[in-house]
Structure 1
C-alpha cells in the first residue's frame, strides 16, 4: 500500500544503518515464532530476481537463489545464504521504476544451544 500501512518498514531496510539496528525478522505461524537473519536486501523486479519462487527441488537450487539475492543486495550483511534449509523472502512494492520491489531474503536462525 502506498500509505506504508502494510509492510511499511521493509523499505527502510534499504538503509545500511536501519538494517544494522534491525538485522533479524520474526515470523509467526500456528506452530510458533521463527527467527530469521537477513541475508540480503535488494530492490529488483521479477525479471531480475525470481522472488515469487516458493519451493526448491534441491539444496543447490536454494543455495543458487540465496547467492543471486546476495549478488544483487544493496550491501553485504555478512549472513551466508548457503547451507540453510529454510529461507524467508519478504516482498513489498517499491517505486523507483515500474514493477520495482523491496525484497528481504532471510535465513532461519540456528537455535541457541
Structure 2
C-alpha cells in the first residue's frame, strides 16, 4: 500500500511539474511576442520603413480603445503568417495578415485575419464588439498603407459564423452579387446599424477565432468612409 501511495504521489508531482512548465513556457512565449511587437511599433515611429524590412508589409491597423495596433502582412497563402512575424521568425501570436487573394485594399472586400490570443493581444479585442455599447461607440477602424495613405472604416456589422461561410470572398462577378453579400452581412449582425452600405462601397472584414461552437469565427465588418493621402 505504501508503495502504491508513493507511486501516486510521484505521478501527481510529475503532472504538477509538467503543467507548471507548460504554463511558464506559454507565458514566456506571450511575453516574447509582446516584446517583438513593441519593438516593431518603436521602429515604425522612428523610421516607418517596414516595407523595406519585409515586402509583404501592406500597412498598419489601429482601433481605438483596443489593443489592436499592428502591422498587416500578406503571404502567398493564408498559412504563411499564422505563426510568423514581420521579421520572418516564429512567433506564437502570428501576424495580422491579409487574405492572399486580396489585391491590397483595392478589392470590394479586404479581409484581415488575426489570432484570438488568451492574453488579449492580436484580434482578441474584437470580442468587445459583442458588447452593445462598444459596438455603437467605438466603430472606427484606421488603416495606414505602406505608401502613407490613410483609410478609415466605420463598423456596421458584427456576427458569429463558421469557416464554411463565404465572408472571406474578396470580389464579385457583378454588383447584384455584391449587394446580396452586403445585405446578408447586415442581416447577420448581432446589432443593427443605421450605416447605409451599397454595391458601390468598399468594406473591410476582420476575422478571428471564436468559441461558441467548433470552428466558430467572430467577424467585424466596416465600410470605407474616408481616404487621405
> Could you state the TM-score of these two structures normalised by the residue count of structure 1?
0.86
Runs of 4+ with deviation above 3 angstroms: none
Task: Looking at secondary structure, tell me which structure has more helix per residue.
Answer: 2
Residue among 90, 98, 105 paired with 2:214? 98
Residue among 14, 20, 43 paired with 2:160? 43
Structure 1 unaligned residues grouped into runs of 5+: none
Aligned to 2:136: 20
Aligned to 2:183: 67
More displaced 10-residue stretch of structure 1: 31-40 or 78-87: 78-87
Cα RMSD (Å): 1.9
Greater radius of gyration (CA): 2
Is residue 159–residue 190 contact of structure 2 (8 Å, CA) maintained in 1?
A: yes
Q: Distance in 2 between matches of 1:102 and 1:64?
A: 20
1:39 aligns to what SS in structure 2? strand
Is residue 151–residue 226 contact of structure 2 (8 Å, CA) maintained in 1?
A: no
Is residue 117–residue 123 contact of structure 2 (8 Å, CA) maintained in 1?
A: no
Using CA pairs below 8 Å that are at least 6 residues apart, which structure has the higher relative contact order?
Answer: 1
1:89 aligns to what SS in structure 2? strand
1:8 aligns with 2:115: no
Q: CA deviation at 1:34?
A: 0.5
Structure 2 unaligned residues grouped into runs of 5+: 1-115
Q: CA deviation at 1:21?
A: 1.8
1:48-92 per-residue CA deviation (whole Å, 9 max, x = no partner) reads x31221222222222211110111110101112214431111101
> Could you state the TM-score of these two structures normalised by the residue count of structure 2?
0.45
Q: How many pairs does the alignment contain?
A: 111
